[in-house]
Amino acid sequence: MKTGEQILAEGCGRGDNAARRELYDRYAALLLGLCQRYVGDRATAEDVLHDAFLKIFGAIGRFRYRGEGSLRAWMERITVNTALEHLRRERRLGEVRLEESRALPAAAEPSDDEVARIPREVLLRLVGELPDGYRTVFNLFCIEGYPHREIAAMLGINEKSSSSQLARARALLARKLRAWLDTHEL
């Protein structure tokens, strides 16, 4: 028996506009959030989302259903790659190399309990405020789950740079979280 995800993908593959609309309606908000995590601002994220859906609809005929969630995972990968292409095109990933020489003073990382009390939108905003290079590596490693080897290949950097960017992203994010916690009663 076919799942809704499989039927939807097949409809899009046949060029069914109702299926395309349903796919967009079902996944646009999720993928917009993904775009915004990478590019930082909503207007640019909307442009990247548009480009990602053009690629998704153009390639949907090559999608192979591999079980529930495979369509979403496939679309997320295309969207991440589209966001990375945008950052490369805008030369915003060049900041990865420039930021490596900057040392950050250590900050006490908030506990898991403290972080759990911070509203989700605040967490996303603080991650979005990270410099492009830091934010990109942080997203790829911590949220998308890519290993440093794959991140390095995606960004054209070495694994050690990916690892150091992640350490700097975490340190800067810890400082931002601590500052927010110190100024807000929860």
CATH number of 95-183: 1.10.10.10
Please provide the DSSP assignment of 49-109 as one string: HHHHHHHHHHHGGG----STTHHHHHHHHHHHHHHHHHHHHTT-TTHHHHHTT------PP
What's the topology of domain 4-89? Answer: Rna Polymerase Sigma Factor; Chain: A (1.10.1740)
| Residue spans of the chain under pLDDT 70 | 92-107, 186
Where are the domains positioned within the chain?
Answer: 4-89, 95-183
Q: What is the pLDDT of residues 93-109, one digit of tens each?
A: 654 444 444 555 556 77
The two tokens of residue 66 are 């591999």
Length of the chain: 186
Q: For residue 113, what pLDDT is reported?
A: 87
Residues 39-69 have pLDDT tens digits of 988 899 999 999 999 999 999 999 998 888 9
Residue 173 backbone dihedrals phi, psi, to 5 degrees: -65, -40
